[in-house]
Chains A and B, each alone.
Chain A
Amino acid sequence: MSALGGAAAGGEGINPTASVIGIVVLLIALGITFFIASTGGTIALIGIIIGGALIGFGVHFVPVGGAPAAMGQAPGIATGVAMLAAGAGLAGLFGGAWAAELGFAVALGAGAVGGGLMMAITCLMVNVIYVFGMGIPSASGKVDKDPITGDTFPQYKSQGTEGHGLPFISYVGGVIGGTLGGLGGTLIYLELLGVYEAALPILYNVPLEEVLPVAVSLAGIFAVGMFLINAVLTAYNITGTIEGPHDPKFKRFPRAVIAAAVASGVCGMVAIMVVAL
């Protein structure tokens, strides 16, 4: 029961009705895309859906403490879930797009590493500020022991707080989250770029070289947009703050993966229809 007397919102489980409706919407989007853009478009849309699901899954790894972390009252990075994940994922997308001409696998690798690198440096600098600027050691509020290093936390939590800083498990979670975000964002970009590179020269009846900047721009804008959609959607699933993979809220990820897949499916369909209709 909430304070207003209604049913409690949130929770850990998956809502079966909502999930079935979501999957039906996803299948309709795939069907429409197949009808309009044939097999090539459908395969691209499946790639976009996988990319969106990767983003949704990856955001759960990113340790975000929001406003309480800015006062050393809770562990995590002192900013918003969606925005931090977007920052990392888009840095990954930058690297992936740069490596696009070297092949699909290399571009995905470059995107993933770009996102991971951004988070690795950011998480390190967060700890540097906490330790050398504020004299505060890292301590998790959700677990008593770090699952990786075995460090104990209860005696390292200052009085009246839920913990602070970034324990090693949160650091690793941040890097994994950035990596998955970069990978997902780059996958969406590459799939859309493939669709536009194939469709735009026919649409305008010009060589590919002439419309390549348009294809790159369109794919990039849609990839950024879809990244933000999936990151914000996942932030709603997390509701506020999360410490990383050891946080009980992490178990909510299947719900966000379904939601991200549906949202990416519908948005991807629209992005493909821009040139297919």
Chain B
Amino acid sequence: MVENLVLGIGVTALAGALATVAGAAEDTESDIGSQGDPNSQVQLAPQMGYIHRIYNKAISGEPPAYGLWCALGAGIAWALMAINLNAILALIVGAAIAVFVQGVYATTAYLGRTASLAKFEQPVYIDILKSVTTVTMAHAFVAIFTTISMCYLMVAALGHPFPLPLLGLVWGIALGAAGSATGNPFYGKERQYQEQKFGAGVPISASGNIVRYAEAGQRSSLDNGWFTSKLAGPASGICFGLIVFFELWRTVLFESFAAGWGAVIAGVVIILIFTVIDRYVETWARNTFGPYAEAPAEAEEAAS
């Protein structure tokens, strides 16, 4: 019993760590490839007269794209394990084949999206295709491999009833959702609109005027990966890592209490704790940053 519990907690910690790496790699991959919502500005910029050298592969949201790649990787690994291939090797081969699909997706997406901007005189840069695609593939490999390894742990060590490919789909979609939710604002506001004032949203009138030049020459999408990996990537990693860790932890540790209700109660308590933390962060920001403008009543008093 105790041995099982200790094993469960160890597996939970390992799965949480894998999820953290997956989240960080996923967000960095999507920022380099510009697959999240901020890509609307990359697509918009040439239409406003701003020609750029930013990658452009947002033909699908991150959640369904990662759902596909992780389900594919997990499915191939599952099939290879069924013919008695070593589990680690099967996971690597599964992730590698899924990454080739990601590479094809990225190439066709960049060519298609950029070619659609031809009438706005946006060129298709072949050197970008050569240099950036492989970098997104490398990051995608890390994200897919860690996610399907985590899924394998859930099946093999924790006994989840879902088959590996289905878990790959479920957690791939959740990975994309967590990564895009957390990482997108930092890539969109802080990187693409780096010239705008810090501490404020981008005025709607500035839409399309993304930063296109770097310290030397034109900005590359690789620079965006360097920038977002400082905060958006790790934050996405923490987000997905916490989701996976607490989802497993509450079940492994508390499911034996109160005929299964222990895990539910633990989950509710964790949600309440995160709610309190969120409220603290919100009030801290209001008190520390203060309002942008005086409240209308205060402004009137000041004027009189």
Binding site for B on A (CB under 8 A): 66-73, 77-80, 83-84, 86-88, 90-91, 93-95, 97-100, 102-103, 106, 109-110, 112-114, 116-118, 120-138, 149, 151-152, 154-168, 171-172, 175, 213, 216-217, 220-221, 224
In the complex, B162 has a CB within 8 A of chain A = yes
A168 touching B189 in the complex, CB below 8 Å, given contacts A90-B174, A154-B295, A159-B203? no
Q: Are A134 and B199 in contact (CB under 8 A)?
A: yes
Query: CA A163 – CA B277 in complex, angstroms?
Result: 21
Number of A-B residue pairs with CB-CB distance less than 8 Å in the complex they form: 301
State A152–B286 Cα separation when bound (angstroms): 10
Contacts of B177 in A (CB 8 A): 79, 83-84, 86-88, 122
CA–CA, A87 and B242, complex, Å: 14
- Cβ B38 vs Cβ A71 within 8 A: yes
In the complex, the answer to whether A72 meets B173 with C-beta atoms within 8 Å is no
The secondary-structure label for the interface of chain B is: helix
* Neighbouring B residues of A151 by C-beta, 8 Å: 282, 286
Residues of A within 8 A of B264 (CB): 106, 109-110, 112-113
Nearest residue (CB) in B for A74 is: B201
With known contacts A72-B202, A135-B199, A121–B242 Cβ distance under 8 A: yes
Instruction: Give min CB distance, A243 to chain B, whole Å.
Output: 15
| Chain B positions 253-304 with a Cβ under 8 Å from a chain A Cβ | 255, 259-261, 263-264, 267-268, 270-271, 274-275, 277-279, 281-282, 284-286, 289, 291-296
Quick check: B185 and A72 within 8 Å, CB to CB? yes
Q: Cβ of A134 and Cβ of B198 under 8 Å apart?
A: yes
Q: How many residues of chain B have a CB within 8 Å of chain A?
A: 85
Contact B271 A120 (CB under 8 A): yes
- Docked Cα-Cα span, A131 to B281, in Å, equals 7
- Chain A interface SS verdict (over half): helix
Q: Which residues of A contact B203 (CB under 8 A)?
A: 73, 158-161
Q: Are A118 and B174 in contact (CB under 8 A)?
A: yes
Question: A133 with B231: in contact, given A159-B292, A161-B204 (CB under 8 Å)?
Answer: yes
The distance in angstroms between the C-alpha atoms of A119 and B61, with both chains bound, is: 18
- Chain B residues in contact with chain A, CB under 8 A? 36-38, 40-41, 61-64, 160-163, 166-167, 169-171, 173-174, 176-178, 180-190, 192-193, 198-207, 231-232, 235-236, 238-239, 242-243, 246-247, 250-251, 255, 259-261, 263-264, 267-268, 270-271, 274-275, 277-279, 281-282, 284-286, 289, 291-296
Return A152 CB to nearest CB of chain B, in Å. 7
Given A97-B161, A110-B264, A102 contacting B259 (CB threshold 8 A): yes
Asked whether B235 lies within 8 Å of A128 as measured between CB atoms, the reply is yes
B296 to chain A, nearest CB (A): 7
* Residues in B whose Cβ lies below 8 Å from that of A112: 264
- Whole-angstrom distance between the alpha carbons of A83 and B268 in the complex? 24
Do A158 and B292 contact each other (CB < 8 Å), given the known contacts A125-B238, A133-B186? Answer: yes
Write out the residue numbers on chain B whose beta carbons fall within 8 Å of the beta carbon of A168.
278-279, 282
**With A95-B247, A123-B278, A161-B201 known to touch, is A83 a contact of B63 (CB < 8 Å)?**
yes
Q: Is the CB of B189 within 8 A of A122?
A: no
Q: How far is the CB of B143 from chain A (nearest CB, A)?
A: 15
- The CA of A161 and the CA of B295, in the complex, are separated in Å by 17
Residue of A79, A123, A166 near B62 (CB, 8 A) is A79
CA separation between A134 and B61, bound complex, in Å? 23
Chain A residue contacts of B289, Cβ below 8 A: 135-137
Q: Chain B residues near A154: list those with CB within 8 A.
A: 293, 295-296
Q: Which of A91, A94, A138, A163 has the most CB of B within 10 A?
A: A94
In Å, the complex CA distance between A217 and B153 comes to 18
- Bound complex: CA of A144 vs CA of B63, how far in Å? 33
Distance, CA A93 to CA B86, complexed state (A):
29
By the criterion CB–CB under 8 Å, are A155 and B281 in contact?
no
Residues of A within 8 A of B180 (CB): 78-79, 83
Of A84, A113, A130, A168, most buried by chain B (CB within 10 Å of CB) is: A113
A72 near B271 (CB under 8 angstroms)? Answer: no
Give chain A nearest CB distance to B104 CB in angstroms.
22
The answer to whether A70 touches B188 (Cβ under 8 A) is yes
